Amino acid sequence: MKAAWPHGITDDEYLVPTAAGIEIFMASRRASEGPAVLLLHGLGVGWRYWDLAAPGYSTMDFLARKRLQVFALDHRGYGRSSPVDGWSVRAERAVDDVRAAIDRIRQETGLDRVHLVGHSWGGMVALMTAARFGSAVASLAVVGTPYLTLHESFRREIDEFDLSQAPTDGWVRNETHLAMEGFLYSYDAGVIDEYKAVVSTHYPRLPLGIILDVRELPHAPSVREIDCPTLVVCGTLDDVVERADALRMLDDLASARKDLLLLGNTAHLPGLERLAHRRVDLALAAWVEDTTPPE
C-alpha cells in the first residue's frame, strides 16, 4: 500500500516473517535513495510515535525529507504485528524480530547496513541488536534509555507493580497516556490529543514482559560490546533515566565514536515536547549523515 509524497518520497507497509513464526508490521517513508534508518518504539506506544499527524511532529516525515529511507516497526504483540503472550515481549526476543526487519530493509534498499534508533525500551532492544548483529548496524542512537539504574521515581513505580496479580496472558490496560500532560515540560494540547487518540485506538494494552526487562535491565552487558558509532540522548527532566546513568553508558561504550546529547527542560518523551521534538529530529538526521561513509 503506497502513497505519494512530494520530492519522490513514498510510503509502504510490510509484514515481516520472523524465525519465531510470527510477523512484525513495519512501515516506511522513503526517499528514492539514501541511508536507511529503523526506528524502535518504547513501552507505551507503537511505531506511530514516530509519525504523529500533528503538523511538524512526524520524525519519519522529517527524516525522509532529509533524503533518508525511514522504517519503523510495531514490536511483537503491538498494533498490526502478530499477537503474542505479553510475557514473551522481552528485549531478548525482540532482537531477533529486529534482525528480521533489518534483513527485509537490506533487501528493499540494497544497503548492507542500517542505522538504528531506539526510544526507552526500544533503545534497550537497539543496544542488544547492535551488540549481537553489529555487522548489519551502521550507527546507533538511543533516546531516554536507562543503563545500570533507573531514576528513583520510576524505580518506585516499577517496584510497586504487583505482577503476582497480573493476567495470565501478560497484557494489561494501557493507561500510560491518560495523564501525559503531567510528564512533559512544554507541549501543545493538540499534539497530546493526537497522541492519546493514537494510543487509545491502536495500542490499548501493555505487555508485562517489558516490565520485567525494565526491572532487570538485561541490555546492560551489551553496552561494553558495542563498537559502532553511538549517540546517547537524555532529557534533563527525564523521570526514567538519570543523567549520571546516561554518562556512564557513554563512558562504557566500546565505540571509538560516541556522543551524549543532553536536552535541557525535556522529559522522557521528547517527541511530544514543544521545545525538544525538532531538536531530536535534527540531531538524528545529523548523526546519520555524519556516520554514513561517503560513496
pLDDT in tens, 151-189: 999 999 888 888 888 899 999 999 999 988 988 999 999
pLDDT of residue 9: 87
Q: Is 206 left (phi over 0), alpha (psi -120 to 50) or beta?
A: beta
CA distance 239 to 155: 9
Domains in the chain: ranges and CATH? 6-290 (3.40.50.1820)
CB-CB contact of 52 with 58 (8 Å): yes
pLDDT at 1: 42
**pLDDT at res. 103:** 98
For position 6, what pLDDT does the model report?
58
Q: Which residues of the chain have pLDDT under 50?
A: 1-2
**pTM (2 d.p.):** 0.96
Q: Is residue 57 a contact partner of residue 188, using CB atoms and an 8 Å limit?
A: no
pLDDT value, residue 7: 64
| Long-range contacts of 247-252, Cβ-Cβ distance < 8 Å, separation of 24 or more | 248/147, 248/148, 249/142, 249/145, 249/147, 249/148, 249/223, 252/147, 252/223, 252/224
- Which three-class secondary structure state does DSSP give residue 234? strand
- CB of 137 closer than 8 Å to CB of 129: yes
Q: How far is CA 88 from the centre of its chain?
A: 18
Would you say how long the chain is, in residues?
295
Residue 294: the pLDDT is 78
265 dihedral zone (left: phi>0; alpha: psi -120 to 50; beta): left
Look up cell 526476543; give the residue: 93
The answer for residues whose C-beta is within 8 angstroms of residue 125's C-beta and 6 or more apart is 40, 75, 91, 94, 95, 98, 118, 219
β-bridge mates for residue 234, sequence order: 262
- Give the C-alpha separation, 159 to 182, whole Å: 21
